Structures are given as C-alpha cells and as structure tokens.
Structure 1
C-alpha cells in the first residue's frame, strides 16, 4: 500500500488493507475508497474529529458533509459513491465493534437521473460479432459470450452462472436462473448455438477440474467472473473499433430494442428478458407512448375497427 499517504488515519489504513487482502479489490477501487474517506477525514478535522475516533462521529456530521458536497455542485452519482464508501467503512467498524451505532443509518442516496442506456445499431453489432480474431480458445470463448448476451438478452450474471447442463445446443435453448431464483428457458439463435459449440470444443484448453461444471471458464479453469467478462467486452469493442466502452448491459439492452424495432410484442420481450412486470420492460426499452400505441394498433383486433 505504498501509494497511500502515511498520515492517513490508522482506521482508514486498516480498512483499505482489508479491502485489498480479503476482498481482493483492484488498485483503482482502493484508491477511490481512500480518496472518498480522506475527504471525509479532512471535513471532520474542521470540527476537531477524526476517523481514528469513530465513536465521536454522529449522523449530523455526515449530513453536514453531504451539505458541503452539495454546495460544491457534486454530481448525484459522485455523491452516491462517496456515501457508499462511508457506509462500507462504518459497517467495517461496526462488525469489529469499534462503534456501537452507524452514523450513516437512515441516510439515503440522492435520486439518480435516469439515463437511457446506449443501444448499438445493427452495423455496430455486426462489426462486433464478426470481428476477425485468431481462433484461439480464449477468443472463441469471448465471441461466444458476446453472441449469447446479444442473441438471447441474458443478464451478465445469468450468462456467467450457466452450467454445462443448462445449455442444450441440439434444441437451441438455455435454462437460465434469473432474479429471485426464477428459472426460465431462453432460445438460442443459430449463430449463437454455433459460436457456443465452437467454444465448447475448446473448453478443455482452460484446464478445468473434473468437478467444474461452469460453462464459461476463466484462464485458471474456474468460472468466468464479472470483472473478466467486462474486460472481454471492452477488448472486443476495441477490436471492432467501436468508439465507446461496451458493457454487458448495453448488449442486453440492444437485444430488447432490436426485437421491438422488428415488431416483437412487449409480452414476448418481457418473457425473454425475465422481467416480472411489463412496466419494467417498457422502461428498459425506453418506449414512448407513440411506439406503444403503434404496436397496439397493429396487433389488437379491436383497434382496427
């Protein structure tokens, strides 16, 4: 932890060490936590308090800190991140009985502005999924993952949670465990099925143990994790010369949007996405009233009278 200033409070240094050693957080994440908590420490110093005396910190201190951040015109997302850092720190202290009450208790994050996720156009999707790569096991895995998320609209957690028995390439379906432990069957496109098969034939190159049932494997033969998956999509986007960062959610959102643009009905898209409420699907696909009415007029027999 040579990058951390030596004059930081001892409690903060212990917390950062915990995040590094036990949680395995990246250097960038550790620095973000340290920066946020150091800012709070400097604020506390003004009222002669410190993170090294956490029992003296009370809820009004946190509220005053938030007020100061608001005065600096800090964005709501940045404020939410700082509050998240504080929550983690004080939960850490609470578990270790350094404090008896959490001064963050009852303090909520500011409401975030709803941002419409980016949607790839068809040409961008083709450039991404048809990018020329050497047919190595790693590249076959990477393109299969991207093809699956776009082709079937899976959440990244659902794709990475797949086991070998969940993928039926003959019937071209996957069994997905979604939110709330709800299971659903999702179809595979012919292209996705072929890409998955190409990867599956090279899966042993990752040297999995006999007990490992994960479909997508990392370099150590274990189940591919979310961080690795994010890096995979960023690399593919770079190879395809897309001038923006690509996330799994972008591909899932693109899947839903392209289906609706092609005339799929909301209920079908709702089932494919695994949404329990159709209102979630409407929000997710940023449909406006005009689009919904157009679908209604085209599909409902009473609308045509």
Structure 2
C-alpha cells in the first residue's frame, strides 16, 4: 500500500508500507496531480513485480544506466559520457529502483518543469540513447524517449570568427592537432566527419576528399584546398597501418577535438573558440566570395537549403 504526503517546503513524498517498514521516496516540488500520477505508476509497477509479468526485462533504471555508461566508455566521447552520467544520477534518485520498462514519459517530464529548453533537450537525448541501448540488449521493447517532446529553440546565426584569430590558434597547436583543425578550416567539414576520415577517403592526385560518414548520412565529395596537400602527405608519412587518419586509444578513431583546441586557446589567451567555429568561418568566407548558397550547401552537407541560409543571415549581420 502506498500513499502520498506533503511535507516541508511543499515537497511531496511517496510512502510505501507494503513491505512492513515504511519506504519513503522523495518526489520533489511538484503539483498534487503530478504526485498522483507518480503514485499510480508506482502501484502499477509494484503489481507487475508481484505477478512476475515478464513482458519486458525487470532491469531497473540504475542497473541499465550503469551498464550503458560502461558501454559508452568505448563508444562515445568523454564529454558526452560526463553529461549523461550527471543526468542519470539525478534521475536515479527517484527512478533508480524502478523497472526501466515500467517508467513512462510523464515520469521523466516531472524532472524538467523549470529547466531551459537546451537543458531539456540534453536530458531527452540522454534518455533516448539509454533506451536505444536497452532495446539492443532486449531489456525493453519501446523507446519511451521518443514520446518526450523536445522544446523548440530559435536557430541563431552561426558564429563567424576572425580568420586571424584562427590562424593564431593554429600556429600554437601541436602538429597532429593542427592537422585536424586545418582540415576542418579548409573544408568546412563537421568535426565528427574529420575524425572519421580514412586513408582511402583522401585522393591527393585528384585533390578530392570523400565524406562517407556524416550526420545526414549523405555521401559527398569535397575539393581539396592546396594548403591541405602537405598536411595529408605528412599524415600518410607518419601512419602506422591504421585505416583511420586519426586513430583513437579506446576507439577505432578519435571522438573529440575539444581538448587540443582548449589547450591551444589557453596558451594563446583566446576565448569562446570551438571546433564548429572553424566550420562556420569557412562557410561564411566561401559565401562572401562566391555568393553561391547552393555550392555552400553541398560543401557543408546540409540536407536543406534552410540550414545554409543561416550563414547568409550571419554574413549580412557581419557586413552591416
């Protein structure tokens, strides 16, 4: 038997007396209707456990998230893992002992009533990734994260950086790090696309770079800037047989470019410079010189022209 109680500072608690000794579960500052919803879900979950219903695995949220984070160590970037771990720690305080298959989308939505849209989108992405992993492990049959509605956020114009600032950052980087960012700066590729480049994607003789793995799953060929020819030749001269240009220690390829950039920015006293700034600066520079928005769309690998028009907006704003 479970019942609700509202205590200090308008905080709701769920008290479960079915096991003899009362079990107190803190729900937080939520409305009475929301507290009743949690109580109803909790009672259904407990009924499933008593009847031993095996339609889905009985793995709990805490158990699955722990297993997922262990798996992520060899499949995801360290920054992503750090963010997801913090999100799961907060969720586990209330949902940790509940069966993953019995948690509904409404239960998750209680956790971000007062959060900003970007924070909500981060949490939804983490939950969707967790359920995707759980489906592959056959712990659940449905991705509840897909029922969570992501709040819309305004698309801001991409940030153009003064090329002199980028050149300053490049001059301070270590050779291996500089190679990655030079490719980023002279092609406009996404950071993940640069890190996934393989030896057979580079055609120095015909000055072409083939992008096979992209965010939009679109195959494209990019012309090679003359300044990248010596960069690729140096990479090939120092390769040790790995098919990736930038092999990782725990992954087949490196998964993040932020650490190398952060160290260079600290030495050069540069603030607010991210890997995507190199891509944005490339796009606005090409658009300013060619005035051909379709060509920029193809170079960047955008699936729609609407995404590329953001660079035209940024260029107009910069030229005012």
Check whether TM > 0.5: yes
The 2-side partners of 1:31 and 1:98 are apart by: 24
The 2-side partners of 1:194 and 1:250 are apart by: 23
The 1-side partners of 2:218 and 2:82 are apart by: 37
Which residue is 1:183 aligned to? 219
The correspondence of residues 1-305 of structure 1 with structure 2, limited to 5 A, is 11-24=60-73, 32-42=83-93, 51-54=97-100, 57-63=103-109, 65=110, 69-70=112-113, 72=114, 74-90=115-131, 103-131=144-172, 139-177=174-212, 179=214, 181-201=217-237, 203-204=238-239, 208-209=240-241, 212-218=242-248, 223-227=252-256, 229-247=257-275, 249-287=276-314
Which residue is 1:302 aligned to? none
The 1-side partners of 2:120 and 2:267 are apart by: 34
The 2-side partners of 1:27 and 1:275 are apart by: 27
Look up the SS of the partner of 1:175 in the other structure.
Answer: strand
Q: How much is the aligned-residue C-alpha RMSD, in angstroms?
A: 3.6
Contact 2:284 2:315 in 1 (8 A): no
Which residue is 1:297 aligned to? none
Give the direction of change, closer, same or farther, for the CA distance of 1:285–1:237 in structure 2 (3 Å limit): farther
The 1-side partners of 2:138 and 2:210 are apart by: 44
Residue 280 of structure 1, CA deviation: 2.5
User: How many residues in Structure 1 have an aligned counterpart in Structure 2?
Assistant: 260
Which residue is 1:296 aligned to? none
My pick for the range that moved more, 114-123 or 171-180, is 171-180
Residue 75 of structure 1, CA deviation: 0.9
Contact 1:140 1:198 in 2 (8 A): no
The 2-side partners of 1:253 and 1:244 are apart by: 14
Give the direction of change, closer, same or farther, for the CA distance of 1:121–1:14 in structure 2 (3 Å limit): same
The 2-side partners of 1:288 and 1:269 are apart by: 13
The 1-side partners of 2:189 and 2:79 are apart by: 28
The 2-side partners of 1:34 and 1:195 are apart by: 37
Structure 2 unaligned blocks of 5 or more: 1-24, 26-58
Residue 255 of structure 1, CA deviation: 0.2
Structure 1 unaligned blocks of 5 or more: 1-6, 45-49, 134-138, 293-305
| Deviation readout 1:247-279 (Å, 9 max, x if unpaired) | 2x2211110111223344222222322334333
The 2-side partners of 1:194 and 1:182 are apart by: 27
| Deviation readout 1:167-208 (Å, 9 max, x if unpaired) | 23333322222545543332222222222223332x23xxx3
Whose strand fraction is larger, Structure 1's or Structure 2's?
A: 2
| Deviation readout 1:80-115 (Å, 9 max, x if unpaired) | 222333344455556666666665452211112323
The 2-side partners of 1:224 and 1:26 are apart by: 11
Contact 1:167 1:175 in 2 (8 A): yes
Give the direction of change, closer, same or farther, for the CA distance of 1:245–1:54 in structure 2 (3 Å limit): same
